Amino acid sequence: MNNNFRIYNTASRQVETIVPNEAGKIAMYTCGPTVYHYAHIGNIRTYIMQDALVKALEYVGYDVKRVMNITDVGHLSSDGDTGEDKMVKGAQRENKTVMEIAKYYTDAFFNDFDAVGNKRPDVIEPATNCIPEFIHMVEVLLEKGYAYLAGGNVYFDTSKLDDYYVFSSAVEKEALQIGVRDDVEADDNKKNATDFVLWFTKSKFEDQALKWDSPWGVGYPGWHIECSCISMKHLGEYMDIHCGGVDNIFPHHTNEIAQSEAYLGHKWCNYWFHSNHLNDQSGKMSKSKGAVLTVSVLKDKGYNPLVYRFFCLQSHYRKPLVFSYENLDNTVAAYNKLVKKIAELKNDGTKDDAVVAAYHDKFADCITDDLNTSNAITLLYEVLKDGCSDATKLAVIADFDRVLSLDLINAATASKEEATEVDSELEAYVLDAIARRANAKKAKDFATADAIRDELLNKGIEIKDTREGVQWKKL
């Protein structure tokens, strides 16, 4: 067990060593997808880096329990009764019911999620499964005086907290300003600008498709409540690591903390892991920006989804990453070269367990250093150059791939088989040409015999007449 796993904690704004609530165990929560549209490759970057985190923790000996929600209800683009309901908009766009939309895009999400080598979370819970839990939390928040009713909706009262801007007042206040600017319709029911809806009954969305009975009337939950409730349902009152993209910091995670800690009466989650965005050359990727670039689209264009994973792992999760086809093509070349090098290794020589263990520790040093996956990949190249036996190298590569999940050994075996197939096809062709040439010579048709020799030369094959018969080689 490596007890020195360091990650950047957005809550403390520094790199910290993880000290779990329960020794050897990590309780982790991931904000899941909003299933009103396809998850773009930016969303998938976030899930690849979280997957690397889970596998890195497991690599050094932690037992990780990971929970993820599926946002299949509501999800307004703002915290008040403003903005737009993305699920309803998706359903209207495609002439389907909200639940049909949710099912379709959940399946599409997992298709891409799996294709890039991610392991599914232990628990995956759609928000629509947990309405009674949401109602219970809202009731407790009202009882404790942290919430109020206004205009038919229940709001969380942020003025009741000593410290609402838990991450960084500067970052959050700036985000709030942007939010206020974008928000054309102010919500007059709110006592404070930062208050947010816990339960809606009076929405501007008259035709809201999914509604449930509640003590405050028929309605539906606010945006943030699901993550607090779903995590507590499966992980209990204390959580080690909460993950999301940087856009989740404010207001989503700030509000999750506000309501969770008000409800529990104690600190809730110790480490906040936020990965940075993938941008395209025109700026940030967005689900609502028209045509969505997905992993499936890349696959249709002939890209191996694991090459996209390799692309993501080569850069640090806290840095923004720019996507371009040129960058991806460079990664294709690098991945193929890497696989070819591994395919050249023969499973011979004895495996040196001490060398395997030493590399295991070096790899652990990289990934426990704030999940430095790019250094981990550099180490992989060092292994290939090492003087140790091929059997040792193959064992080390298989060990690293528990975290990298690039399917390196299988890809190398497949490329070897492909090369053998090509070789046997070539051999059959050359032997046939040699036989045709022998027949031509027998029939004294030297022009044809020479033409066959030239035909072979054009294909890069040289033949030689020897006393042992005709011999051939690739030039």
Site of interaction with ligand AMP (CB under 6 A): 31, 33-34, 42-43, 45-46, 244-245, 247-248, 277-278, 284-285, 287
DSSP 79: S
Helix (H, G, I), strand (E, B) or coil at 248: helix
136 binds, among Zn ion, ligand AMP, none (CB under 5 to 8 A by kind): none
- Sheet with 239-245, strands from edge to edge, namely 123-126, 63-70, 25-30, 239-245, 269-275
Least CB distance from residue 149 to ligand AMP, whole Å? 28
Least CB distance from residue 69 to Zn ion, whole Å? 6
Q: Does 269 bind Zn ion (CB under 5 A)?
A: no
Residues numbered 289 to 318 that lie near Zn ion (CB under 5 A) are: none
Q: Which two tokens stand for residue 159?
A: 């003025």
> Would you say 147 or 249 has its CB closer to ligand AMP?
249
34 binds, among ligand AMP, Zn ion, none (CB under 5 to 8 A by kind): ligand AMP
135-152 in b/e form (b: 16+ CB < 10 A) is bebbbbbbeeebbbebee
222 binds, among ligand AMP, Zn ion, none (CB under 5 to 8 A by kind): none
Alpha-carbon distance 156 to 138, whole Å?
9
Alpha-carbon distance 99 to 369, whole Å?
42
Please give the single-letter amino acid code of residue 420: T
73 binds, among Zn ion, ligand AMP, none (CB under 5 to 8 A by kind): none
Least CB distance from residue 47 to ligand AMP, whole Å? 7
Least CB distance from residue 354 to ligand AMP, whole Å? 40
405 binds, among Zn ion, ligand AMP, none (CB under 5 to 8 A by kind): none
Total Cβ atoms within 10 A of residue 454: 9
Least CB distance from residue 112 to Zn ion, whole Å? 20
Among 31, 198, 293, 456, binds Zn ion (CB under 5 A): 31
284 binds, among ligand AMP, Zn ion, none (CB under 5 to 8 A by kind): ligand AMP
Among candidate residues 28, 29, 33, 31, the one with its CA nearest the CA of residue 295? 33
247 binds, among ligand AMP, Zn ion, none (CB under 5 to 8 A by kind): ligand AMP
Structural contact between residues 183 and 80, judged by C-beta atoms closer than 8 angstroms: yes
345 binds, among Zn ion, ligand AMP, none (CB under 5 to 8 A by kind): none
Least CB distance from residue 244 to ligand AMP, whole Å? 4
Least CB distance from residue 148 to Zn ion, whole Å? 23
Find the residue with minimal CB distance to ligand AMP: 245
> Would you say 190 or 277 has its CB closer to ligand AMP?
277
Least CB distance from residue 76 to ligand AMP, whole Å? 12
| Contact residues for 423 (Cβ-Cβ < 8 A; gap 6+) | none
Least CB distance from residue 18 to ligand AMP, whole Å? 20
227 binds, among ligand AMP, Zn ion, none (CB under 5 to 8 A by kind): Zn ion
Q: Considering only CA atoms, give the Rg of the chain.
A: 29
DSSP 253: I
Transcribe 164-212 into DSSP letters: ---S-HHHHHHHHHHHHHH--S--TT-SSTT-EEEEESS-S-TT-S--B
278 binds, among ligand AMP, Zn ion, none (CB under 5 to 8 A by kind): ligand AMP
22-32 in b/e form (b: 16+ CB < 10 A) is eeeebbbbbbb
432 burial type by CB count under 10 A (0-12 exposed, 13-18 middle, 19+ buried): exposed
Element (H, E) at 4: none
> Would you say 46 or 294 has its CB closer to ligand AMP?
46
> Would you say 68 or 342 has its CB closer to Zn ion?
68
277 binds, among Zn ion, ligand AMP, none (CB under 5 to 8 A by kind): ligand AMP
Residues numbered 210 to 229 that lie near Zn ion (CB under 5 A) are: 227
Least CB distance from residue 223 to ligand AMP, whole Å? 10
DSSP 264: H
> Would you say 195 or 226 has its CB closer to ligand AMP?
226
Residues facing 14 on adjacent strands: 9
> Would you say 48 or 68 has its CB closer to Zn ion?
68
Least CB distance from residue 286 to ligand AMP, whole Å? 7
> Would you say 197 or 461 has its CB closer to Zn ion?
197
For residue 458, CA distances in Å to 111, 433, 441, 473, 474 come to: 45, 13, 20, 13, 11
Q: How many residues does the chain have?
A: 475
> Would you say 224 or 277 has its CB closer to ligand AMP?
277
* Number of residues near Zn ion (by CB under 5 A): 2
Binding site for Zn ion (CB under 5 A): 31, 227
